[in-house]
Amino acid sequence: MNGNNTFFKDNKPIVEKINSIRWEALKKRIKYGLEVIERPISFWIKEDRLREEIGKEFTIILRSKGCSWGASEHGGCSMCGYYLDAVNEEVSTTQLINQFDYAYNNKINEIKQDPHNYIFKIYNSGSFLDENEIPQEARNYIYEKISKVEKFKEFVIESRLEYITVEKLEEIREFFDKKYLEIAIGLETVDDYIRNNYINKGVVFKDFKSTLQRLKEYNIGVRVYLLLKPPFMNEQAAIDDCSQSIKKLVELNVNSISINPLNIQKGTLAEYLWFQNRYRPPWFYSLFKCLKKSLTQENLKNLRILSDPSGAGTKRGIHNCLKRECEISAKERLKHFVLSQDLSELDQNGYECTCKKKYNLKKVFD
């Protein structure tokens, strides 16, 4: 896949470990019944940052047969447990359309009556542009429906690089002439070594740059996912890696960067290391440090920074000392920063916890 085999020879033991963890987790998983396949994994509406304003997101997560990279002999990414939500069998085009319709019909009236503008996101815990996950007929059905809703000012899908081909871009452009489109790419870091040896992503930066160029030619925006604190990294290394990545992506003029602090998902190598006390999810302080270190307010005129961490404030997600007030205050700061895109929100006086001192003295770095 992707012709980047040079990156796989070093991390054979990691791939073997990922594969054996996945195999064990899949054996224990309950098999999904037919009725589950007719419904999406989930869907919701919530406040979100649009390009020019604060608005709302309508997100649908489809249940597909799962990420092809994750199902391949390469084992998938070391922090990704999405394969447990996948069906692992064929999901027909009709079933995918039924899942979409179920969520769409449930929310569309509320959306049309809402005074806010919306961003529409559709994910499938893999690549929306992979024909094996979401066939063309299902994609086109969704494009057709979404393109007609005036309220949706932005449309976001996600895909691995290898599926972002000229044909797929031509196809999407046929349906959308006015809406702002963004394709989200899990680059995770600009560092090829970290990405391919610690995360097992199977993606090289040079390919990302050519895809970025191609997307610019089609006037399609790029949203990059960065992973804060991949497995095998300590707090300081994680801050450095993430700030270098942000700086590089600012130079390359990407449209949005979404920072995902690692959260411990079930059935992953990250969970295995965490159980053994060899990994701790990042501190909120590190995320804030990284943002302040790598960005200026000027940068945020042309770039949107997003972060809506899963499991935030819990032991499996980004957290500080787990004291309730400390976690709530950190989550609020992050949310206000994302909604306003104003870096000074990260310094707002709120609850100051004693754990900050310990953190600053590097007594907590692991």
Q: Minimum distance from CB of 292 to ligand SF4 (Å)? A: 27
Nearer to ligand SF4, 67 or 305 (CB): 67
Buried b (16+ CB within 10 A) or exposed e, 212-222: beebeeeebbb
Give the DSSP letter of residue 150. T
Residue 185 found at the interface with ligand SF4 (CB under 6 A): no
* Pairing status of strand 54-61 against strand 152-158: unpaired
Residue 330 engages Zn ion in binding (rule: CB under 5 A): no
Span interacting with ligand SF4, options 74-82, 216-224, 256-264, 267-275, rule CB under 6 A: 74-82
Is 326 near Zn ion (CB under 5 A)? yes
Burial degree of 231 (CB within 10 A; 0-12, 13-18, 19+) = buried
**SS3 of 184, please?**
strand
Beta bridge partners of 43: 60
Q: Which among 258, 255, 117 is positioned nearest to 181, based on CA atoms?
A: 255
Buried b (16+ CB within 10 A) or exposed e, 104-132: beebeeebeeeeebbbbbbbbbbbbbbee
Q: Which of 120, 139, 180, 186 binds ligand SF4 (CB under 6 A)?
A: 186
Query: Three-state SS across 255-322?
Result: CEEEEEECCCCCCCHHHHHHHCCCCCCCCHHHHHHHHHHHCCCCHHHCCEEECCCCCCCCCCCCCCCC
Site track for ligand SF4 across 105-144, x = CB under 6 A: --------------------xx------------------
**Residues in CB range of 206: below 8 A, 6 or more apart:** none
Category of 134 on φ-ψ map: left (φ > 0), alpha (ψ -120 to 50) or beta: beta
63 contact choice in ligand SF4, Zn ion, none (CB below 5 to 8 Å, kind-dependent) = none
Q: Which of 54, 108, 321, 364 binds Zn ion (CB under 5 A)?
A: 321
Question: CB under 5 to 8 A by kind: which of Zn ion, ligand SF4, none does 307 bind?
Answer: none
| Residue 75 interacting entry, from Zn ion, ligand SF4, none, C-beta within 5 to 8 Å by type | none
User: Would you count residue 142 as binding Zn ion (CB under 5 A)?
Assistant: no
d(CA 84, CA 86): 6
Of 148-156, 176-184, 315-323, 358-366: span binding Zn ion (CB under 5 A) = 315-323
Residue closer to Zn ion by CB (options 40, 282) is 282
Q: How many helices (H) and strands (E) does the chain have?
A: 13, 8
Which of Zn ion, ligand SF4, none sits in contact with 70, Cβ below 5 to 8 A by type?
ligand SF4
Question: Which runs of E-coded beta strand occur in the chain?
Answer: 42-49, 54-61, 118-123, 152-158, 180-188, 221-228, 256-261, 304-306
| Stretch near ligand SF4 under the rule CB under 6 A, chosen from 31-39, 70-78, 142-150, 349-357 | 70-78
Identify any residues that bridge with 306 across adjacent strands, giving them in sequence order.
Answer: 258
SS3 call for 108: helix
From Zn ion, ligand SF4, none, interface partner of 326 (C-beta below 5 to 8 A by class)? Zn ion
The region of 20-28, 158-166, 268-276, 349-357 touching Zn ion under the rule CB under 5 A is 349-357
Residue whose CB is less far from ligand SF4, 69 or 208: 69
* Binding range to ligand SF4, per CB under 6 A, among 19-27, 45-53, 66-74, 130-138: 66-74
**Nearest to ligand SF4 of 153, 160 (CB atom):** 160
Q: Which of residues 157-176 bind ligand SF4 (CB under 6 A)?
A: 160
Chain residues that interact with ligand SF4, rule: CB under 6 A: 67, 69-70, 76-77, 80, 82, 125-126, 160, 186
List residues binding Zn ion (CB under 5 A).
Answer: 320-321, 323, 326, 353, 355
